[in-house]
Amino acid sequence: MATEIERKFLVQGDGWRTVSGTRYRQGYLADTNGRTVRVRVAGDRGYITIKGPTRGVARAEFEYEIPLDDAEELLDTLCDRPLIEKTRYRIPWGDLAWEVDEFAGENQGLIVAEIELPSVDRAIDLPDWIGEEVSHDARYYNVNLAKHPFTNWSNQGG
């Protein structure tokens, strides 16, 4: 089984803006009991991803590349609205990499950094542009941002 171990943080300042990003569009076909089925277009590639319930900072994840035309048709015709729109910046950090997501559309104004870890207990050195950890705050899960966009929060960022 594939396992995703990921920690999420809010981003502060612009010190992370050192690389170019890739545009993402993604939507959800299903979201039941913590299990999700997501379709994504990242640049010029399409993916379908199945995720299990989150347990701490880990969850089962299975991702498969699919034809770009299929991914776009699924996003346009079958995925719930609104879609998640963002630009992802991949920033190498030691033997790991940060992924900074700068959201657009209905989540404009939100910037979140994620780091995937090889184990739950892996210590990480945080860059100075990393702010509050939101790993355990379900509002920041992309599936929930699709249902309750950041621009609709009454107390944005907190």
Q: List active site positions.
A: 28
Q: How far is residue 139's CA from residue 9's CA, in Å, rounded to a whole number?
A: 12
Q: Is 72 helix (H, G, I), strand (E, B) or coil?
A: helix
Q: Is 62 helix (H, G, I), strand (E, B) or coil?
A: strand
Q: How far is residue 52's CA from residue 61's CA, in Å, rounded to a whole number?
A: 6
Backbone angles phi, psi at 11, to 5 degrees: -110, 140
Residue with tokens 């879609």: 83
Asked if 59 contacts 117 with a C-beta cutoff of 8 angstroms, the reply is no
Q: Which residues contact 137 (CB under 8 A, 6 or more apart)?
A: none
As separate numbers, helices (DSSP H) first and strands (DSSP E) second, the chain gives 2, 9
Q: Which amino acid is at 20?
A: S
